[in-house]
Amino acid sequence: MFADRAKIFIRSGKGGDGHVSFRRELYVPNGGPDGGDGGRGGDVIFEVDKGLNTLQDYRHKRKFAAKDGEPGGKRRCHGADADDIVLKVPEGTVIKEAESDKVIADMSGENSRQVILKGGRGGLGNQHFATATMQIPKYAQPGQPSQELWVKLELKVIADVGLIGFPNVGKSTFLSRVTNAQPKIANYHFTTLNPNLGVVDLGDAKGFVIADIPGLIEGASEGVGLGHEFLRHIERTKMMIHVVDAAGSEGRDPVEDVYKINQELEAYNPEIASRPQVIAANKTDLIYEGDENPVDRLKKEFEPKGIKVFPISGVSGRGMKELLYYVSEQLSNLNQEPVTFEQEYFPEDELIYIDLPFTVEKEKDVYVVEGPKIEKMLGYTNLDSEKGFAFFQKFLKDTGILDELEAAGIQEGDTVRMYGLQFDYYK
């Protein structure tokens, strides 16, 4: 079965903890600190695999975790970095944060590989914390914590043109005639269950990718509307070919069919409904002379609205060439950039936990701030960078640490110590 959605849990690796140890050698009774640094935790990476076309691999296994970095050791030994975990997905997969439904990454176009969760940095060993006034530091930095997240994977096919319309109007026959696709074709009263892609090659004009978008679920003949679980596949298309049964061979009115489908598009996403359309009035080989010509009705109804109507026959191929050249010309006038989804959710910014307790105490002339909150923050933050230092300042303010320091009587120029970090306080 075609799988175009999945929900999975991902977790990056925790950074290895820094080590506390002291050099012990013969004739060196009081060796200095030599605790090594911890290794980096593994990243969670998503990568496009051109050989995949479904998300079936994520239907049975739902939890994926990278390994933790190894802790540091004695004699300045650095813990080993953990391997990254690489999750392969088909091109066109959109990764969303499960709860908010915000986009984390769109795996299409040039974005074929992206780190979604970064592994924790390894903690520094106690060798880094020796100072002139503290020559035997008995603490080391913990490794940066892992990050974890539930994400939704949604496959949205990549095509320039989408074929839309009710079941049994001839979309699959149309696709098989004009492209290299080989969809299953039969007289069923339910829709194709997966998108079929094909490439239209016009020789002397620019070709394009076309997709038979699954539109209606079983029971459409009883009035069941378009399923949102299928409509996601039309979100990337630049224009649509609206295929209708002009002959009304199943007793439906082609004009009403166009309005019904467009109402479903409008309800799903008004922006998609406003994209260019062309109507392919199919099955004209079944229209009998003497009857009112339904193609004329379609033209009279929709061409004043800017929607051109082409009479075609998917069986004989009549009218196909004119329609395809018109679509190619229209596409050349549209924005040529592929339709992609911008990132809305940034895991590194969202997954900073600052809800743990802390203490502020005065030891002689130094204000000491301690607690798991501080350790976690220092593990996350690179204070050597401008962005990291700005985050550090915001952290002190947002968590109430500055208020606590002022309540304890701190003055400008006084010293603050947070584990291995020591600085002078200024407003």
- Are 9 and 58 contacting, i.e. CB atoms less than 8 angstroms apart? no
Q: Looking at 95-99, 269-273, 334-338, which range is the least confident one?
A: 334-338
| Alpha-carbon distances, residue 280 vs 13, 216, 254, 317 (angstroms) | 53, 18, 11, 12
Q: Choose from 51-55, 84-88, 187-191 the range with maximum mean pLDDT.
A: 84-88
Supply the DSSP symbol for 335. Answer: -
* DSSP calls for 102-170: -EEEEE-TT--EEEEEPPPPPPPPGGGG--SS-SS----PPPPPP-EEEEEEEE----SEEEE--TTSS
Burial group, residue 427, by CB count within 10 angstroms (0-12, 13-18, 19+): exposed
Distance CA 266, CA 276 (A): 13
Residue in 289, 298, 177, 307 with CA at minimum distance from that of residue 239:
307
**What pLDDT is recorded for position 272?**
85
Beta strand 196-200 with 208-212: parallel, antiparallel or unpaired? antiparallel
Q: Is 216's pLDDT higher than 60?
A: no
Residue given tokens 């829709």 in the structure block? 191
List, for residues 54-69, the tens digit of each pLDDT value: 888 898 889 999 999 9
**What pLDDT is recorded for position 295?**
84
Higher pLDDT, 412 or 371: 412
Supply the DSSP symbol for 56. Answer: G
**What pLDDT is recorded for position 338?**
74
Distance CA 190, CA 168 (A): 8
Q: Is 252's pLDDT higher than 90?
A: no
Q: Is 262's pLDDT higher than 70?
A: yes
List, for residues 3-48, the tens digit of each pLDDT value: 678 899 999 999 998 888 887 776 666 677 888 899 999 999 999 9
**What pLDDT is recorded for position 1?**
42
Beta strand 161-164 with 239-245: parallel, antiparallel or unpaired? parallel
**What pLDDT is recorded for position 117?**
93
Burial group, residue 111, by CB count within 10 angstroms (0-12, 13-18, 19+): middle
Max CA distance (Å), the chain: 114
pLDDT band (50, 70, 90) for residue 158: confident
**What pLDDT is recorded for position 214?**
65
3-class SS of residue 8: strand
Beta strand 85-89 with 44-48: parallel, antiparallel or unpaired? parallel
Distance CA 186, CA 175 (A): 14
- Tokens representing residue 100 in the block: 């908010």
| Alpha-carbon distances, residue 156 vs 92, 133, 230 (angstroms) | 5, 61, 9
- Listed in order, strand segments (DSSP E) in 323-414 are 359-363, 366-370
**What pLDDT is recorded for position 184?**
44
Distance CA 89, CA 267 (A): 29
Q: What is the mean pLDDT of the chain?
A: 80
pTM over 0.75: no
Give the count of beta carbons closer than 10 Å to the beta carbon of residue 232: 21
> What would the mean pLDDT of 227-235 be, rounded to a whole number?
68
- Are 69 and 15 contacting, i.e. CB atoms less than 8 angstroms apart? yes
3-class SS of residue 190: coil
Burial code of 265-286, b = ≥16 C-beta within 10 A, e = fewer?
beebeeebbebbbbbbbbbbee
